[in-house]
Structure 1
Amino acid sequence: MKHSLQSSSAHDSAAGRCGKKLLDHVLGYPDAYIGSVEKRTQTLWVYERGTMVHRAVTYVPGLYKIFDEILVYAVYNKQRAPTMDALRVEIDVAECCISVFNNGDGIPVELHQEEGIYVPEMIFGHLTTNNNCDDTVKKATGVKLANIFSTEFVVEIADGLRMLKYKQVFTQNMGKKSEPVITACKQGENWTRVTFKPDLAKFSMTHLEDDVVSLMRRRVVDMAGTLGDTVKVELDDKLVPVKNFSNYVNCAENPAFDSQTKETLTTPQQSFGSKCEFSDILLKKVVNSGVIRNMLLKKTGGRCP
């Protein structure tokens, strides 16, 4: 089905001018919204070839940030809908395309009474909610930022309560959007899929580089560890081999020192002669203590999945 593209400021002239002003500001000053768009090198944990690796990683924090916003938003649905049992992430390096799916409760496919646009558009692609530009600055956060820093951003939703399916396509850094396409879905069918193509030019990149992809993959493993065995997490069509927090803690190999400075260990785990194991009772106490939540709050800037 073809989409008719229109300016994202067409909804309301005053709010539209305000939104355009804010959009230009976000794109002009990315550091204030998503962090640095310059490459940096740090020693971090990454996930590659099925295991955790601690090594020097060169990546762009802003690019990692927009990926994390979409991932955290999907994981947050587990709080909204305890029945959520699937999280699927696909990172297509060749096409520079990332897709995040969850089957938590669908976003209501209905018109927002005050704004006169659909609720999904309010969440993913609408910067302003009134005519006061200053008040709208706070709205340019989270998933909208991923939209703004993408050449294409597709939102698909199944709302099983209203039995409606929603699809909308944003392009040109959220500068243009299609009219929503509304079709029918089955009762009880609930899911959300966000597919986006990061605007790599804004991160001084020409392709999704190996280091940033490995870092993104590690973040998916993070989520698998915190979600527990009630959610099946898939990464690039493969099941993430982490079923609970204990499994996640033991996912990384015990390191071996690589130099006289003793900065990095390289000794194989089997050579230690002992193994650090955590009892279920201890792990439950850790989870219930709020430590995990505080770690995620720090990692996600105050939004705990």
Structure 2
Amino acid sequence: MAQTLPLQTSNNANTAAPRAAAAAARKGKTVEETYQKKSQLEHILLRPDTYIGSVEKHTQALWVYDGDEMVHRPVTYVPGLYKIFDEILVNAADNKQRDPRMDSVKVTIDPERNLISVYNNGDGVPVEMHREENVYVPELIFGHLLTSSNYDDTVRKTTGGRNGYGAKLTNIFSTEFVIETADGKNGLKYKQVFSKNMGVKGAPDIKACKAGENWTKVSFKPDLAKFNMTQLEDDVVALMKKRVIDLAGCLGKTVKVELNGKRVPVKTFADYVGLCLKFASKNRPEGSLPRIEETVNERWEVCVSLSEGQFQQVSFVNGIATIKGGTHVDHVTNQIANHVMTVVNKKNKTANLKAHNVKSHLWVFVNALIDNPAFDSQTKETLTLRQSSFGSKCELSDKFLQKVAKSGIVDSLLSWANFKQSKDLKKTDGSKRENLRGIPKLEDANDAGGRNSDKCTLILTEGDSAKALAVSAGT
């Protein structure tokens, strides 16, 4: 008796697999060549966009650190290369949360040698053998995928790491990767060299160190061929330097940040914002942009300035640059927009302003520490964590909101509202119409613009109550 197959469609796997195999056979491929299983490391190298973003060149307007100043200009860069640098930088920032005594970060970017290194002091990686995995902890953290100290979600952490990829991705996309750490607690210093995209692991070199010696240094040579590059190009270097400036602004005055042997000119988040506004104010006829700042608490720093016609934001979560914003930016911006909207609508009752109108005139800077942050992807460009899970609140003070309202944004919005109303009225000029629409608080005469328009009366009142009285009297 013939075997009965289930009902099938043209998309059913029962027909798709044999057809694919047949097609492969016609092309000279075996079944084994057609259907392949990859290791996770092979998959990362084969499909890098899933893990580090695109490995093709992109051009877009971004902030960079160029010629000792912050500049906003078109930049051609490879997102994946930028990401593997960022992973190591965020690791250094994370150590400040683990050990508040950390007070030094040193970054070296050497395009000629294609060599990048990031050093931080503070507690080093434990130089101990992991009993379950039978490898030293530094090798486990930097040379084995899906290893992390951030998996326990019952523990609230304000670090950037989360998914167990991080520095391993940098290792995988490097021709050489070196981890060095001093563990003063155990009195041991550790060094290990990885090469060929984490495919070759050198034996650890372990020596004694002083009891108070604690630091970590990661050095790597990006595999430029994986990014279709032959050298670290100027735009990429300028973008990397900007991330070092970011780090200095996020960590604040308790951490000395050095770039290529020189301390960067940023000690606070306010300094960082100042660099951005200095560039934006260069060709502004009205002079420097206003700056209203508030350190809300130990986890939130906010600054507001003006934008013209388009909302702008520069934000960070646990040292990560959230270039597309997210729920932390919404949390701050909504408070500001609601306050300003109320002020403007009181001054001009016909303005009928909405929150999005206010936001288009705002430039918001946010530096936040968030518990166990969740992002849209491994590239971490957008925070998606719900506000209720932040682990802290950012309640802007009345004093701060009042300063924002007096910064010039209210005047800008009033001018914009008046212009918009004037523009709406001009739409009716030069021709008769049956009805007028879209003008707040206008009650049009139904016969206006028609054959009985001579029987209509134009009534102007000041205030809603006067309007109600006039309309009732007229009827």
Q: Output the TM-score relative to the length of structure 2.
A: 0.52
CA distance in 2, matches of 1:245, 1:284: 10
Deviation at 1:195, TM superposition (A): 0.1
Task: Confirm or deny: 8 A CA contact 1:38 1:204 kept in the other structure.
Answer: yes
CA distance in 2, matches of 1:170, 1:47: 31
Letter in 2 for 1:180: P
1:225-277 per-position Cα deviation (integer Å, ceiling 9, x unaligned): 01001000000101001010111110124456xxxxxxxx7517xx6445634
1:101-152 per-position Cα deviation (integer Å, ceiling 9, x unaligned): 00020110000010010000000001267xxxxxxxx976100000000000
CA distance in 2, matches of 1:50, 1:79: 29
Question: 2:464 aligns to what?
Answer: none
Letter in 2 for 1:22: Q
1:236 corresponds, among 242, 256, 260, to 260
Deviation at 1:29, TM superposition (A): 0.7
Task: Confirm or deny: 8 A CA contact 2:93 2:319 kept in the other structure.
Answer: no
Question: 1:183 aligns to what?
Answer: 207
Question: 1:120 aligns to what?
Answer: 138
Task: Confirm or deny: 8 A CA contact 1:246 1:283 kept in the other structure.
Answer: no
2:295 corresponds, among 274, 277, 284, to 284
Question: 1:31 aligns to what?
Answer: 49
Question: 1:50 aligns to what?
Answer: 68
Question: 2:168 aligns to what?
Answer: 144
Question: 1:267 aligns to what?
Answer: 283
Which sections of structure 1, spanning at least 5 residues, go unmatched?
1-19, 130-137, 257-264
2:251 corresponds, among 216, 227, 230, to 227
Question: 2:370 aligns to what?
Answer: none
Q: What SS does the aligned partner of 2:52 have?
A: coil
Q: What are the residue-to-residue correspondences of 1:5-154 with 2, within 5 Å?
A: 21-127=39-145, 141-154=165-178
Deviation at 1:26, TM superposition (A): 0.8
Letter in 1 for 2:295: K
Deviation at 1:28, TM superposition (A): 0.7
CA distance in 1, matches of 2:259, 2:286: 31
Cα RMSD, aligned residues only: 2.5
Question: 1:295/1:168 Cα in 2 relative to 1: closer, same or farther (>3 Å)?
Answer: closer
CA distance in 2, matches of 1:32, 1:59: 18
Q: What SS does the aligned partner of 2:181 have?
A: strand
- Report whether the alignment pairs 1:166 with 2:190: yes
Question: 1:247 aligns to what?
Answer: 271
Question: 2:306 aligns to what?
Answer: none
Count of residues in correspondence between the two structures: 264
Question: 1:135 aligns to what?
Answer: none
Question: 1:58/1:50 Cα in 2 relative to 1: closer, same or farther (>3 Å)?
Answer: same
Task: Confirm or deny: 8 A CA contact 1:91 1:236 kept in the other structure.
Answer: yes
Question: 1:144/1:210 Cα in 2 relative to 1: closer, same or farther (>3 Å)?
Answer: same
Task: Confirm or deny: 8 A CA contact 1:245 1:283 kept in the other structure.
Answer: no
- Give the share of equivalent positions with the same residue, in percent: 59
CA distance in 1, matches of 2:130, 2:144: 12
Q: What SS does the aligned partner of 2:64 have?
A: strand
Moved over 6 A (4+): none
Ranked by relative contact order (alpha carbons within 8 Å, sequence separation 6 or more), the top structure is 1
CA distance in 2, matches of 1:75, 1:168: 22
1:167-221 per-position Cα deviation (integer Å, ceiling 9, x unaligned): 0000000000111000011111100000000000000000000001000000000
Letter in 2 for 1:284: T
Higher CA-based Rg:
2
Q: Output the TM-score relative to the length of structure 1.
A: 0.80
Q: What SS does the aligned partner of 1:88 have?
A: strand
Task: Confirm or deny: 8 A CA contact 2:102 2:122 kept in the other structure.
Answer: yes
CA distance in 2, matches of 1:83, 1:255: 34
1:203 corresponds, among 212, 227, 232, to 227
